[in-house]
């Protein structure tokens, strides 16, 4: 199985991504590192543990990481995810303990203890933990097989400002460190995730599985989509973070192009904008595989089938 570490700020869509990973035998989750993002760290690390217990996997190690971005003040998104970050289902308080190690220590120590190319990082939130790990021990960069990231928006524009997507906007300086790290990166931007819509038919198919995981997932999706559905007038909301995990299981569901991605960290107007050299008009290194297309029916078929295994 492919070894992954999930860095996350749950978040309903983060939660579904974690469930998809835990349901997939192709993937071995070495640990989950929580970061401040959708809600503060105390809630994201707790939510991560709630999700592991929902999946009956209290053995998965969960670590708490950065409480705030590198430079800017923390911006959260309770208006999307609710007060707890995981509003929708009534999940019990977790009984499994948080691992005592700091997430950045876990990232550095685990990467240094494995051979180069063994570990893939799946990032579903602001990139603060990953940047801190890279700054603390630059030797980890050549050891990471790949970063598969939910972040950015190109042709689609931003979802928190006209220019910026939430994960990059919250910590643009961390994103800048990551995109300059030389690590191969696969980017799932809004251009992809806005095509992965939780339509009523798709949510009903998940609920129909009838398991506690399926029912809780349907409740999470229904809560989460309210905001985007109203905002965009679409049938269902975009299911961002599970696209990262689906790519690792079935990469053929996605299509994109290798190009350069740079992050704006200076201008207030376009802070956190991901600037993509789609047409290769610069000599900048092609540091990312930027996805643009998704087989959305295939994606939901995969997700639904996998959730049925939990
Ligand atoms: C990203 O922001 C968060 O609200 C979601 O969990 C996702 O990771 C989408 O912009
Ligand atoms: Ca997220």
Mean pLDDT score across all residues of the chain: 96
Residue nearest to atom 2 of ligand 1 (CA): 166
Is any atom of ligand 1 closer than 6 Å to the C-beta of 13? Answer: yes
What's the rounded mean pLDDT across residues 126-135? 98
Q: Write the pLDDT tens digit of every residue in 257-287.
A: 999 999 999 999 999 999 999 999 999 999 9
Between residues 235 and 66, the one the model is more confident about: 66
Residue 202: pLDDT band with limits 50, 70, 90: very high
For the ranges 47-56, 73-82, 96-105, 221-230, which has the lowest average pLDDT? 221-230
Ligand 1 atom nearest 165 alpha carbon: 10
Q: Is 240 a catalytic residue?
A: yes
Give the C-alpha distances (Å, rounded to integers) separating 148 from 63, 133, 183, 184, 251.
19, 16, 10, 9, 11
What's the confidence (pLDDT) of residue 40?
98
CB of residue 11 inside a 6 A radius of ligand 1: yes
- pLDDT confidence of residue 225: 74
Report d(CA 245, CA 250) in Å as an integer.
9
Determine if the pTM surpasses 0.90. Answer: yes
pLDDT of res. 234? 74
Give distance in angstroms: CA of 172 to centre of ligand 2. Answer: 15
* Predicted confidence (pLDDT) per residue in 42-63, tens digit: 999 999 999 999 999 999 999 9
Q: In degrees rounded to 5, what are phi and psi of residue 103?
A: -55, -40
Cα separations in angstroms, 252 against 52, 54, 112, 238: 28, 29, 31, 20
Closest ligand 1 atom number to CA of residue 125: 8
* Residue 16 scores a pLDDT above 70: yes
Q: What residues are paired with 278 via a beta bridge?
A: none
- Tell whether ligand 1 has an atom less than 6 A from the beta carbon of residue 164: no
User: Residue 293 — pLDDT band, cuts 50, 70, 90?
Assistant: very high
Q: For a pocket test of ligand 1, which of 38, 164, 165 has the largest count of ligand atoms closer than 8 A to its C-beta?
A: 38
Radius of gyration of the chain (CA): 18
Query: When comparing pLDDT for 242 and 233, which is higher?
Result: 242
For the chain, give the percent of residues with pLDDT over 90: 94
Task: Please indicate whether residue 38, judged by its CB atom, sits closer than 6 Å to ligand 1.
Answer: yes
Single out the residue of 39, 30, 40 nearest to residue 7, CA to CA.
30
The pLDDT of residue 230? 66
- The pLDDT of 21-39, averaged and rounded, is 98
DSSP-assigned states of every residue in 237-280: -B--THHHHHHHH-GGGEEEEEE-EEE--S-STTTTBEEE-TT-
| Ligand with minimal distance to 76 CA | 1
**125, 152, 158: which to mutate for ligand 1, most atoms within 8 A of CB?**
125
Nearest protein CA to atom 4 of ligand 1, as residue = 38
């Amino acid at each position: 199985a492919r070894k992954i570490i999930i860095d996350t700020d749950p978040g309903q869509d983060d939660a579904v991504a974690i469930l998809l990973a835990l349901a997939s035998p192709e993937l071995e989750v070495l640990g989950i590192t929580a970061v401040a993002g959708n809600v503060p760290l105390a809630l994201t690390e707790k939510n991560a543990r709630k999700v592991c217990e929902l999946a009956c996997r209290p053995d998965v190690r969960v670590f708490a990481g950065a409480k705030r971005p590198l430079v800017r003040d923390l911006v959260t998104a309770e208006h999307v995810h609710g007060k707890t970050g995981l509003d929708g289902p009534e999940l019990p308080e977790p009984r499994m303990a948080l691992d005592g190690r700091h997430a950045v220590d876990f990232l550095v120590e685990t990467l240094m203890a494995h051979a180069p190319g063994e570990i893939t990082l799946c990032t579903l939130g602001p990139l603060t933990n990953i940047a801190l790990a890279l700054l603390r021990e630059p030797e980890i960069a050549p050891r990471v097989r790949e970063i598969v990231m939910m972040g950015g928006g190109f042709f689609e524009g931003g979802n928190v400002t006209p220019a910026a997507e939430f994960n990059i906007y919250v910590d643009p300086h961390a994103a800048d460190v990551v995109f300059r790290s030389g690590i191969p990166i696969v980017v799932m931007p809004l251009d992809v995730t806005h095509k992965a819509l939780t339509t009523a038919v798709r949510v009903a198919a998940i609920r129909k599985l009838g398991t506690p995981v399926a029912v809780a997932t349907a409740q999470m999706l229904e809560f989460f989509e309210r905001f985007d559905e109203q905002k965009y007038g679409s049938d269902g909301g975009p299911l961002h973070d599970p696209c990262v995990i689906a790519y690792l299981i079935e990469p053929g569901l996605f299509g994109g192009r290798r190009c350069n991605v740079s992050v704006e960290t200076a201008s207030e107007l376009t802070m956190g904008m991901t600037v993509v050299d789609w047409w290769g008009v610069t000599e900048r290194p092609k540091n990312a595989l930027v996805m643009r297309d998704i087989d959305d029916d295939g994606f939901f078929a995969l997700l639904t089938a996998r959730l049925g295994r939990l």
